[in-house]
Amino acid sequence: GAVVSQHPSWVICKSGTSVKIECRSLDFQATTMFWYRQFPKQSLMLMATSNEGSKATYEQGVEKDKFLINHASLTLSTLTVTSAHPEDSSFYICSAGIVTWAEYFGPGTRLTVL
Amino acid sequence: QQQVKQSPQSLIVQKGGISIINCAYENTAFDYFPWYQQFPGKGPALLIAIRPDVSEKKEGRFTISFNKSAKQFSLHIMDSQPGDSATYFCAATAGTASKLTFGTGTRLQVTL
């Protein structure tokens, strides 16, 4: 079946550095991917909608200059957390689909900022 | 109006019992209602989904009941097993190409 992968699965970085997270659709093309953030024991919060070949659409309250999204191909979207701080520590998850855009979620990336 | 309210927050069920999780929504434009299962440290996985033109959908031990007039839908897990212990999220979207609105999640524990 269709799979969405993420890389890395976990990352630890120092405060002030930037971290890039990749989301790939492995056997289908995804013109749209979604990026979510999830804090411990909480629900998923949509951060942005990533559109292939165009600018991402960010949810209210999400800093577009801090969370850079690039959807350069039909199988790859990247989320870059720039100048990361401890409060950016979270579980980041992407999703994509074929019939709907809600079908497949990636395994998530655990970001810890020291 | 965009909220999806989910209850209970946590649920403990004995093995073999029925787990029931409820969700309610306000936005009448919602037309697709998926349920997701999430294990600790993993991404959510689509479990089952329903559209408002049917009142019930069953896949194996998992059943969604949908009440359009009450704007409520629920997940029933029959013959609950310890392996079902996970967090369950309901969600809703208006159009398959639209973003999801998630419920707050229910942490299910199935005891032996």
Query: Of B43, B99, B105, which has the smallest distance from its Cβ to A49's Cβ?
Result: B99
B8 preceded by a cis bond (ω within 30 of 0): yes
| pLDDT confidence of residue B1 | 56
Tell me whether A108 touches chain B (CB under 8 Å): yes
CB contact under 8 A, A105 and B32: no
| pLDDT confidence of residue A2 | 65
Give the integer Cα–Cα distance in Å for A35 and A106. 10
Mean pLDDT, range A14-28, rounded to an integer: 95
Tell me whether A35 touches chain B (CB under 8 Å): no
More confident residue, B2 or B74: B74
- Which residue bears the tokens 């992407």? A94
Give the integer Cα–Cα distance in Å for B56 and B29. 19
Give the integer Cα–Cα distance in Å for A113 and B54. 46
Mean pLDDT computed over every residue of chain B: 94
Give the integer Cα–Cα distance in Å for B97 and B69. 24
Tell me whether B5 touches chain A (CB under 8 Å): no
Contacts B97 to A, Cβ<8 Å: 32, 100-101
Q: How confident is the model at residue A21 (pLDDT cuts 50, 70, 90)?
A: very high
Tell me whether A46 touches chain B (CB under 8 Å): yes
Please determine, for residue B80, whether its predicted confidence score (pLDDT) is greater than 90: yes
| pLDDT confidence of residue B21 | 98
| pLDDT confidence of residue A30 | 87
3-state secondary structure chain B: CCCEEEECCEEEEECCCCEEEEEEECCCCCCEEEEEEECCCCCCEEEEEECCCCCEEEECCEEEEEECCCCEEEEEECCCCHHHCEEEEEEEECCCCCCCEECCCEEEEEEC
Please determine, for residue A53, whether its predicted confidence score (pLDDT) is greater than 60: yes
Substitution target from A100, A103, A112 for chain B, most B beta carbons within 10 A? A100
Which of A10-24, A94-108, B1-15 ranks highest by mean pLDDT? A10-24
Contact B75, B88 (CB under 8 A): yes
